[in-house]
Amino acid sequence: MTVAQSAPSTCAPATAPAAVPARLSQRHALAAGLVVLAVSYTAFAVAALRTWHVGDHMFDLSVYRTGGHSVLHGLPVYGTPWYEGQWFLLFTYPPLAALVFTGPSLLPFHVNELLVPVADLTLVPLVVYLTLGLLGRRDRIPRLAATCALSGALVWLEPVISTVTFGQVDLALLALVLADLSRLDDRRTKGIGVGLAAGIKLTPGLFIVYLLLTGRRRAAAWATGTFAASVALSFALLPTDSADYWGRAAWQITRVGYVGESGNQSLAGLLARVTHTYGHPIPASYSVAAIMLILGLGLAVQAHSRGHDPLGILVCAITGLLICPISWTHHWVWWCPAIIAVGHYAHRSARADWWLWPAALTLLCAAWPSSLAETLPWTWSPSRGAAWGLVARAEIARDTGRMSLGSDVLENLYVLLGLTLLALTAFSLWRRSWRRPAPRRH
- CA-to-CA distance for 66 and 77, rounded, in angstroms? 8
Instruction: Say what the pTM is.
Output: 0.85
Measure the CA angle with vertex 379, ends 390 and 155; round to 5°.
80
pLDDT for the residue 439: 56
pLDDT in tens, 27-55: 888 999 999 999 999 988 887 777 665 44
Highest-pLDDT range among 155-169, 329-343, 387-401: 329-343
For 181, list phi and psi in degrees, rounded to 5: -75, -20
pLDDT for the residue 381: 40
Mean pLDDT of 143-157: 94
Mean pLDDT of 70-83: 84
Helix ranges, 52-169 (H): 59-72, 95-100, 102-106, 109-134, 140-154, 158-166
Does pLDDT of 390 surpass 60? no
* Lowest mean pLDDT across 87-91, 283-287, 336-340: 87-91
Mean pLDDT of 160-172: 90
Helix ranges, 306-412 (H): 309-323, 335-349, 356-365, 386-399, 405-411
pLDDT for the residue 82: 67
- CA-to-CA distance for 384 and 16, rounded, in angstroms? 51
Q: Could you give the angle at which helices 413-431 and 356-365 cross, rounded to 10 degrees?
A: 160
pLDDT for the residue 86: 54
Mean pLDDT of 321-341: 95
Mean pLDDT of 257-285: 87
Does pLDDT of 385 surpass 50? no
Residue bearing the bigger pLDDT, 52 or 438: 52
At a CB cut-off of 8 Å and minimum separation 6, what does 187 contact? none
pLDDT for the residue 180: 97
pLDDT for the residue 432: 67
Residue type, 127: V
C-alpha to C-alpha distances, 286 to 53, 266, 269, nearest whole angstrom: 40, 12, 12
Does pLDDT of 56 surpass 80? no
The torsion angle over the Cα atoms of residues 288, 160, 150 and 36, rounded to 10 degrees, is 160
Mean pLDDT of 63-77: 91
Task: Say which DSSP state 331 is in.
Answer: G
Query: How many Cβ atoms from other residues are within 10 Å of residue 394's Cβ?
Result: 23
